[in-house]
């Protein structure tokens, strides 16, 4: 089952990206690129979500057949 977790991503002065989430307590991921940060955040989010009892995921939203995804394109 897939769940949507809202991430807050910011670029730090050191040039790396930091991802946190209000949906998954303790989720903190850092990477050199946005793609790397998203990959790390996905791995980090799995453990706390798997540890929660089934049906107790009120802060996440199950994916349906349609959803929106922000695509960032650098020029």
**Domain boundaries in the chain?**
3-52
Q: Where are the alpha helices (DSSP H) in 1-74?
A: 34-51
pTM over 0.85: no
**b/e burial code for range 10-24 (CB count within 10 A of at least 16 → b):** eeeeeeebbbbbebb
Report the alpha-carbon distance of residue 31 to residue 38 in Å, rounded. 8
Report the alpha-carbon distance of residue 29 to residue 25 in Å, rounded. 12
Task: Look at residue 40 in the predicted model and tell me its pLDDT.
Answer: 95
Residue 59 has pLDDT above 60, yes or no: no
- State the pLDDT confidence band at 11, using cuts at 50, 70 and 90: very high
């Amino acid at each position: 089952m897939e769940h949507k977790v809202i991430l807050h991503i910011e670029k730090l002065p050191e040039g790396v990206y930091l991802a946190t989430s209000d949906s998954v307590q303790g989720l903190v991921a850092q990477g050199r690129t946005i793609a790397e940060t998203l990959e790390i955040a996905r791995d980090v989010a799995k453990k706390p979500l798997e540890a929660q009892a089934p049906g107790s995921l009120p802060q996440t939203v199950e994916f349906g057949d349609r959803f929106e995804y922000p695509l960032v394109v650098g020029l």
